[in-house]
Amino acid sequence: MTIFQAPKGTYDLIPPDSAKYLAVREAIAAPLRNSGYGYVETPGFENVELFARGVGESTDIVTKEMYAFETKGGDRLALRPEGTASVLRAALEANLHKSGNLPVKLWYSGSYYRYERPQKGRYRHFSQVGAEAIGAEDPALDTELIVLADQAYRSLGLSGFRILLNSLGDRECRPVYREALQGFLRGLDLDEDTRRRVDINPLRVLDDKRESVRKQLVGAPLLRDHLCDACKAYHEEVRELLTAASVPFEDDERLVRGLDYYTRTTFEFVHDGLGSQSAVGGGGRYDGLSEMIGGPALPSVGWALGVDRTVLALEAEGIALELPASTSVFAVPLGEEARRALFAVVTGLRRAGVAADFSYGGKGLKGAMKSANRSGARYALVAGERDLADGVLQLKDMESGEQAPVALDSAVEEIRARLA
């Protein structure tokens, strides 16, 4: 029988590499926890309409990439392609916005699913850590989020990323711009698909990567020149606060994101060592999303950082994270009596907070010491019948090779003291 393989566009996280993913999630979450964001977890699937309305009927995510299905009970569901719509849905459902304590600040970490053409950095199952600040319109809040993402990346040692910043305007000025842009785009030589996009979602055309389209876009009207005074002032304030926080950014008037809910501030973190899938994270303000999914007006802002791509960015920069040793002490019993005695010591060590492991499966001394070596343990704890008769265990320093007896009765305290 052939062995099953992970589905196309997916991969497994396996030790020791999997430890990097945990460390990255932790590093992204740490600044959020430290800034008033509470942890939220939502289901892996939702009513398909939530994403159709929230993310946008005309986006690639909804039209091409969603894993949508009908359940046996007749419900139309979709595996979540992103987190923002779900988190806002959960906040509304729990009435968090009525707590009188706005903004509601939430962070999350989980798996997302998009039926995309797989390539390096682009998968059908991937992980994000995200943050959403719901129910406040304040340039300092947009800035806070960008600063926290920057802090997370820097805490991992990353430096090869850039922050691209733009404003997409609001419901006052964007429609005016949209029309001006459509006027321009309709005069270009475009294929049928793209012409359809001009009608439905003209801003996305600005994001077209094909050279044949790109060269025609020179001279396209820019949203920057159409922003209303309120949007302009808001954006200027975000830029000033970022500068004051010493977070460098680049203005990118052509930055449009792949989701329809954005208004005003939008940003992307790109890493130059990643090739075509260079966006390690992105986000922005979505002042209209709550109303789009049936809620009250709740101006909000957030981001999601891709864990997979952040790990690739670490590799591209040659950064080896300092991961905590998984095992400090590895116990090697020689004989049945020693197995019982050492198993008790290992249990005691673990209860005392020392990372300890045990040679299982009745291995001989040579095989067990090999396992001790592989575990990366600082000490091997060896015992045979003679040691037990003397009331001791042999503690071997795996770095220096030195070995010394420790009393069986006080082994846990003594080993703990040595490791500290």
Q: Which residues bind ligand HAM (CB under 6 A)?
A: 82-84, 114, 116, 122-123, 126, 128, 130, 132, 258-259, 279-284, 286, 302-304, 306, 308-309
The answer to the question of whether 261 is labelled as a binding residue is yes
Q: How would you label 233-262 residue by residue, b for 16+ Cβ within 10 Å and e otherwise?
A: ebbebbbebbeeeebebeebeebbbbbbbb
Q: Which is nearer to ligand HAM, 262 or 358 (CB)?
A: 262
Containing H/E element for 147? helix 139-155
Question: Closest distance between ligand HAM and the C-beta of residue 126, in Å?
Answer: 3
The answer to the question of whether 160 is labelled as a binding residue is no
Question: Closest distance between ligand HAM and the C-beta of residue 342, in Å?
Answer: 45
Collapsed DSSP state (helix, strand, coil) of residue 196: helix
The answer to the question of whether 394 is labelled as a binding residue is no
Please say whether the beta carbons of 27 and 155 come within 8 A: yes
Question: Closest distance between ligand HAM and the C-beta of residue 273, in Å?
Answer: 14
Q: Which is nearer to ligand HAM, 256 or 332 (CB)?
A: 256
Please say whether the beta carbons of 17 and 320 come within 8 A: no
Question: Closest distance between ligand HAM and the C-beta of residue 172, in Å?
Answer: 21
The answer to the question of whether 257 is labelled as a binding residue is yes
Question: Closest distance between ligand HAM and the C-beta of residue 414, in Å?
Answer: 47
Collapsed DSSP state (helix, strand, coil) of residue 132: strand
- Which residue sits closest to ligand HAM, CB atoms considered? 306
CA distance 267 to 165: 4
Residues with Cβ within 8 Å of 115's Cβ and at least 6 positions away in sequence, in order, are 9, 64, 65, 66, 67, 124
The answer to the question of whether 386 is labelled as a binding residue is no
Q: Which is nearer to ligand HAM, 259 or 377 (CB)?
A: 259
Q: Which is nearer to ligand HAM, 305 or 381 (CB)?
A: 305
The answer to the question of whether 93 is labelled as a binding residue is no
Q: Which is nearer to ligand HAM, 227 or 280 (CB)?
A: 280
Question: Closest distance between ligand HAM and the C-beta of residue 185, in Å?
Answer: 23
- The single-letter DSSP state of residue 135 is S
Q: What ranges make up the beta strands (E) of 184-299?
A: 250-251, 263-271, 279-285
Helices (H), 257-399: 289-292, 307-316, 336-351, 365-375, 385-389
Binding residues for L-histidine: 82-84, 114, 128, 132, 257, 261-262
Binding residues: 82-84, 114, 128, 132, 257, 261-262
